[in-house]
Chain A
């Protein structure tokens, strides 16, 4: 059985049209999937369902054979780590303390143990955050905060990692490093789902594209197959052009 299974997962806010109309998909270990689609297509909601922040109105979301609706939060967070789009405001903790919050799902007692500190050190190292360890989270820039939140998710050591527009605040160097990091994590057997609007980067780096449109999967496949200009135009409402760069690298441009 696949690590992640979505069975006709649907979601609607009360009194509003559904945000997700029955998404069915499977994903396994060592996959890097980019979730793309227009604003309001349901990308973040889909991540929220997988993260367990929302319960499907109908259908199911299974990770490692366990149902999100029937699994306690701490157990679910040992399976799935979610890096939200926005950092919480006015967090008075240091970088180290924020990263250690990723260990709460493992916490039995009031204090962190040696394992927790080891996980934190690894995460700081991986995100090149060691020089920031004692800094106050709220004094960091948006991009630095994003990296700290990603480090906290890494410290969570879950097989599934969800990232909601992780490169929104990142400069090119850090964005390139992020994708390298995701490749490394994929090699370690993690399943990574990234919501992004950077279609060319998604095309180059991901194994698979989930194209969401009106709360349903309009395409699910390898980038070359999923990112057809005609289909993208139908979904995004602007003309798309495909270009091929060196070594067959795929680029997309859009607009007139």
Chain B
């Protein structure tokens, strides 16, 4: 049995990592604008620079984003004991959006606005992360439920201010705001990819080590406490970790809905409820899923790029419904 579970965990890990690896290898080669592969092999312009500077970092960003969103989604579903919990449940996505929208609204028009928007989105996310950490550590009577309701309130407040700023913005800025709020994977500098990886990889590794404990935490505080788990500590650390994952990626990509909710549920149907299988599958499977969706998003109506959130919902949604009803 012990050997069997370990064996299954290894298989799931290997298969999902393979899926992510295949996505990483093939997605950069695919795209609507067509690529002259001979040119690419000779490392000649324009195909080589497009491949190296645009498509490769973009695919890496998609992998990281998918991993972060679905890992934190799986974790939040356990910690909040709510099947409908998403990485945005605690308000971090709305806060990042508020930061970004505020930056776009108030910054002087100019070409150098990207780092500012990113930093402000990050600041918005960080505010919520700090709020989660402070609330769940300092309050004596702390429950996941209170935190979830607080998250809903934070979501509402941030969305309201975003709406206000949006309504006050001029036409150019309004377009920028709409574009940011649609979310999407865009080509980024390698430094951004590295920075994200430096945050996401260690946090994901940490989350994986939490898996056995999440198995009991997801079915009640008392049960988990009776199994030697310090629930309060696990819960607030898990929330902070998940919020960090979502906050840092959302600051770069904008809100990408659906991934954090659907990927863990989808994989739960495949690998079962044990978080020791589900979390690694979510990390790699989520990454592969977003990378593939992004490839479709930039190919299907090329040269127009569809927001990746459209594809994640249109691809994942029907598949999920099929999986739900086919058993």
Contacts and interface: CB of A to CB of B under 8 A. Distances in A.
Contacts of B274: 93, 97
Contacts of A105: 227-228
Interface string B246-257: 000000000000
B5 A112 contact: yes
B113 interface: no
Contacts of B216: 101, 104
A198 B159 CA distance: 57
A166 interface: no
B109 interface: no
Given A76-B228, A104-B227, A88 B213 contact: no
Contacts of B215: 93, 101
B211 A53 contact: no
A209 to B, nearest CB: 25
Contact of A88 (B5, B208, B223, B229): B223
A78 B215 CA distance: 19
A72 B208 CA distance: 22
Interface in B211-267: 211-213, 215-216, 219-220, 222-223, 225-230
Contacts of B273: 92-93
Contacts of B6: 111
Nearest to B210: A110
Contacts of A197: none
Contacts of B208: 110
Interface centre among B141, B222, B276, by most chain A C-beta atoms within 10 angstroms, is B222
A14 B272 CA distance: 40
A52 B228 CA distance: 10
Contact of B230 (A14, A51, A72, A114): A72
B274 to A, nearest CB: 7
A213 to B, nearest CB: 25
Given A72-B230, A73-B228, A112 B2 contact: yes
A111 B9 contact: yes
Nearest to B231: A73
A113 B3 CA distance: 9
Given A88-B220, A97-B274, A114-B2, A104 B228 contact: yes
Contacts of B223: 84, 88, 101
Given A90-B219, A97-B274, A110-B209, A117 B225 contact: no
B2 A111 contact: yes
Given A72-B230, A104-B213, A107-B212, A91 B219 contact: yes
Nearest to B268: A92
A165 interface: no
Interface string A67-101: 00000111111100110100011111100110001
A201 to B, nearest CB: 25
A31 interface: no
Contacts of A51: 225-226
Chain A residues touching B, range = 35 or more
A82 B219 CA distance: 16
A78 B272 CA distance: 29
A102 interface: yes
Contacts of B227: 77, 101-102, 104-105, 156
A200 B6 CA distance: 48
Nearest to A52: B225
Nearest to A153: B226
Contacts of B229: 73-74, 104
B21 to A, nearest CB: 23
A126 B190 CA distance: 59
A114 B6 CA distance: 12
Contacts of B209: 110
A14 B226 CA distance: 23
A144 interface: no
Contacts of A14: 141
Nearest to B221: A53
Nearest to A53: B225
Given A107-B212, A112-B2, A114-B2, A77 B226 contact: yes
Interface of A: 14, 51-53, 72-78, 81-82, 84, 88-93, 96-97, 101-102, 104-105, 107, 110-114, 116-117, 156
Given A96-B1, A104-B213, A111-B9, 19 more contacts: A14-B141, A51-B225, A52-B225, A53-B225, A53-B226, A75-B228, A76-B228, A77-B227, A77-B228, A81-B226, A82-B226, A92-B272, A97-B274, A102-B227, A104-B229, A110-B209, A110-B212, A111-B212, A112-B5
Q: Which 7 A-B pairs have the closest CB atoms?
A: A105-B228, A77-B228, A74-B228, A88-B219, A92-B273, A104-B227, A88-B220
6 contacts: A77-B227, A102-B227, A104-B227, A105-B228, A111-B9, A117-B1
